[in-house]
Amino acid sequence: MASSKLNIGIDLGTSNTLVYSSGRGVIFNEPTVVAFDIETDKIIAVGREAKDMLGKTHEKIRVVRPINQGVIADKDTTIRMLEYIIENHLMNFENFRPKNTVVLICCHSDLSNIERKALQDIIINFGIHDVFVQEEVKAGAIGAGIDIYTPEGAMIIDVGGGSTDIGVLALGDIVVSNSIKMAGNHFDEEIRKFVKKKHNFEIGILTAEQVKIALSTLKDDLQDEKEITVAGRDLKRGLPSRVVVKQSEVRDVLKRCFNTIASQILKVLEITPPEIAADIIEAGIVLNGGGAQIEGLSEYLEDLCQLEVRVSPEPLTAIVKGTKELLKNRGDYLIAPSD
């Protein structure tokens, strides 16, 4: 008796890579980071363990983030990371056979055909020939609970690690979209630059990320303002030290970033067909991605767009969960997802 097809969905993100498998759900959810032994060129860590090494390596270890702003920056490392995932998380499945496996890779809506082909080729190298690519905003909308197969238009904004993707969907596909290379990693870098300029103090990128997670807000009214003490290097004395970063400081950094993102959202709304715009007025806008969890973001966008904005029930995993339905209905439009 022939074994059933194994469906695999991959969200190859700048910050995190998630993998869905039919019958098992999300089987991999780790940072998109790989650590190598420089002398042997062997992988010594992937995911969280590798990310913890960032900024702390010596001459014998090389740490790589192979995806930059949603695009493959290091093809060899990306291949080896996926090879690691396949060997350690897929090959032990009793029904894993390359020729009997279907793989869906999610990408940004503005990725070129050449870049999409490069993504497909990476998976084909593993002997898996049934590979197709779909836009992240489409998968994310489905994962957020939106029925994209109806004539009613919907708008989704995914604030990821490398980029913010904006999409308007109807009848099973994207009507209007835009992508801006400004998201979580950019926020971290801007926080790091701010601390250096304001406090004459240097912190690492992982510390900047910790500051973002602890203090992120877009609210003007901070009655109980938070603050965090972080360690780094005092540039005046050149010695290790600590500095206090306030929530209002992080808010001001994020506002400058989101003012740029907001202008791109407004551009998409301006070119959205009137009938679909009317649907969005009724349905509102849905937020996905790690940035969706920033305090006050939905209210900030509501005030700007004069539309209801809500956060997806599971913003961090919506894209990879949406691959489940896209794998069932590949290439089909006007077909509601099957149960």
Number of domains in the chain: 3
Give the pLDDT means over successive 10-residue stretches in the chain (339 positions).
75 93 91 96 96 93 91 90 88 78 88 86 89 92 94 96 95 93 96 97 96 96 94 96 97 96 96 97 96 96 94 95 87 51
Asked if residues 85 and 28 have their Cβ atoms less than 8 Å apart, the reply is yes
Asked if residues 284 and 266 have their Cβ atoms less than 8 Å apart, the reply is no
pLDDT tens digits, 265-279 = 999 999 999 999 999
What is the domain-level CATH number for residue 210? 3.90.640.10
SS3 264: helix
172 and 276 both lie in a single domain = yes
Single pTM value for the model: 0.90
Q: How far is CA 134 from CA 9, 62, 120, 323, in A?
A: 10, 32, 11, 9
**276 domain residue, yes or no:** yes
**336 domain residue, yes or no:** no
pLDDT confidence of residue 233? 97
pLDDT confidence of residue 336? 52
SS3 105: strand
Tokens of 97: 């056979």
| Beta strand spans in the chain (E) | 6-12, 16-21, 25-31, 34-37, 43-46, 61-64, 67-68, 71-72, 101-107, 130-135, 154-159, 164-170, 173-180, 201-202, 227-234, 239-246, 285-288, 309-311
**339 domain residue, yes or no:** no
SS3 14: coil
Asked if residues 149 and 171 have their Cβ atoms less than 8 Å apart, the reply is yes
32 and 105 both lie in a single domain = yes
Q: Rounding to the nearest 10 degrees, give the CA dihedral for residues 96, 99, 101, 105.
A: 130
Phi and psi, residue 97, nearest 5°: -140, 120
Tokens of 304: 């700007």
207 and 176 both lie in a single domain = no
pLDDT confidence of residue 186? 96
User: Is the C-alpha dihedral spanning 137, 138, 144, 146 positive or negative?
Assistant: positive
What is the domain-level CATH number for residue 74? 3.30.420.40
pLDDT tens digits, 81-113 = 998 998 888 877 767 788 889 999 998 877 788
38 and 97 both lie in a single domain = yes
Cα–chain-centroid distance for residue 259?
20
pLDDT confidence of residue 1? 37
What is the DSSP code (8-state) at residue 4?
P
Range of the domain at 85: 6-136+319-328
Tell me how many helices (H) and strands (E) the chain has: 10, 18
73 and 148 both lie in a single domain = no
Where do runs of H (alpha helix) occur along 231-317?
247-270, 274-283, 297-305
CA–CA separation, 146 vs 164, rounded Å? 19
